[in-house]
């Protein structure tokens, strides 16, 4: 289904189809991940984006409203037209034809930095049609504005694509568990981040490596972060995430102003 959607988008723009994560798509690596079913992560979104240089970006995202998806802003740095993005929900297998396809009507992205790790790296997508919720498609809860991410708190990171030892795309949905790192450790490894709106996590030989974009970071059924960048597959350095609680006012304002 995702292949059909990608080919549709490419043919719409008269571009030759390219379906190779190894060369043209931003790579997600879930180190030490485990397969999970979509019922355990019904908020997950799989998305493909055509860039202005005719390449393909694969991003994750999360359902936060029947008409809105939360993802990373840098997924769209090279895609001016939101209609060049689409994807599927309700699937844990990218070959599954029973999921629900979607296309994007509007995008609302913050003005992110140009260097990695990206700052202000968050984006809200308005869909052309409302999603119908059920056991395989459901919104994730957002955090309270005053949420404190304590060092050592366990979080789950979820998505598709390559694992540490894989040379090909991983078709099944994967999840890894990390723990929140202290602000001091985060700043030591990534001195350019802002801890008011970013945090680091990594441990247990699990988690995201390389540059996976837009995937959710979940703690106790609440989305606390969005994947922005990391440094290889190193537990020592961990990965940098956008802190969702810092953008709640922006998220709610964008949703309220763009509903009928």
| The 3-state secondary structure of 34-91, one letter per residue | EECCHHHCCCEEEEEEECCCCCEEEEEEEEEECCEEEECHHHHCCCCCHHHEEEEECC
Per-residue pLDDT at 208: 54
Tokens of 141: 């809860």
Closest CA to 199 of 189, 212, 211, 209: 189
Per-residue pLDDT at 145: 92
CATH of 154-245, one of 2.40.10.10, 2.40.160.40, 3.20.20.70, 3.40.109.10: 2.40.10.10
Contact call for residues 161 and 21 (beta carbons, < 8 A): yes
Closest CA to 155 of 181, 137, 133: 181
- From CA 26, how far away is CA 99, in angstroms rounded? 23
Per-residue pLDDT at 235: 57
Query: Rounded to the nearest 10 degrees, how much is the dihedral formed by the CA atoms of 93, 94, 96, 99?
Result: 100
Per-residue pLDDT at 197: 93
Q: Spell 145-166 as b/e; 16+ CB within 10 A means b.
A: eebebeeebebbbbbbbbbeee
CATH architecture for the domain at 2-26+42-127:
Beta Barrel (2.40)
> Which residue in the list 42, 65, 74, 246 is annotated as catalytic?
74
- From CA 239, how far away is CA 80, in angstroms rounded? 27
Contact call for residues 240 and 211 (beta carbons, < 8 A): no
Q: Do domains 2-26+42-127 and 154-245 have the same CATH topology?
A: yes
Task: Note if 74 is an active site residue.
Answer: yes
Instruction: Please give the sequence-ordered ranges of beta strands (E in DSSP) within 202-247, or none if there are none.
Output: 207-210, 216-219, 222-230, 239-243
Q: Which residues of the chain have pLDDT under 50?
A: 2-3, 8-30, 166-167, 205-207, 210-211, 231-232, 234
> Which residue in the list 62, 65, 79, 121 is annotated as catalytic?
121
Task: Give pLDDT tens digits for 110-153.
Answer: 876 666 677 788 999 999 999 999 999 999 999 999 999 999 99
Tokens of 210: 């390389």
> Which residue in the list 42, 62, 210, 213 is annotated as catalytic?
213
Q: What are phi and psi of 27, to 5 degrees?
A: -95, 130
Task: Note if 113 is an active site residue.
Answer: no
Q: What residues does each domain of the chain span?
A: 2-26+42-127, 154-245
Report the chain's terminal Cα–Cα distance, integer Å: 30
């Amino acid at each position: 289904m995702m292949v059909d959607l990608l080919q549709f988008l490419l043919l719409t723009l008269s571009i030759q189809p390219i379906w190779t994560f190894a060369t043209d798509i931003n790579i997600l690596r879930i180190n030490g991940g485990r397969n999970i079913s979509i019922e355990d992560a019904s908020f997950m979104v799989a998305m493909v984006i055509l860039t202005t240089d005719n390449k393909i970006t694969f991003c994750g995202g999360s359902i936060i409203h029947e008409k809105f998806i939360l993802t990373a802003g840098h997924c769209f740095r090279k895609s001016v037209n939101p209609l060049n993005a689409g994807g599927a929900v309700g699937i844990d297998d990218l070959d599954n034809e029973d999921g629900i396809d979607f296309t994007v009507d509007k995008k609302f992205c913050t003005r992110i930095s140009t260097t990695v790790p990206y700052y202000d790296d968050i984006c809200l997508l308005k869909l052309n049609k409302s999603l119908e919720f059920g056991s395989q498609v459901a919104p994730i809860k957002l955090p309270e504005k005053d949420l404190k991410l304590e060092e050592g708190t366990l979080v789950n990171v979820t998505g598709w694509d390559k694992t540490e030892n894989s040379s090909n795309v991983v078709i099944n949905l994967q999840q890894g568990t990390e723990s929140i790192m202290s602000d001091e450790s985060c700043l030591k490894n990534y001195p350019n981040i802002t801890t008011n709106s970013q945090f680091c996590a990594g441990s247990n030989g699990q988690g995201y490596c390389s540059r996976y974009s837009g995937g959710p970071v979940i703690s106790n059924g609440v989305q606390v972060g969005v994947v922005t960048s990391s440094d290889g597959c190193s537990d020592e350095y961990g990965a940098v995430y956008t802190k969702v609680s810092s953008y709640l006012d922006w998220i709610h304002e964008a949703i309220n102003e763009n509903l009928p």
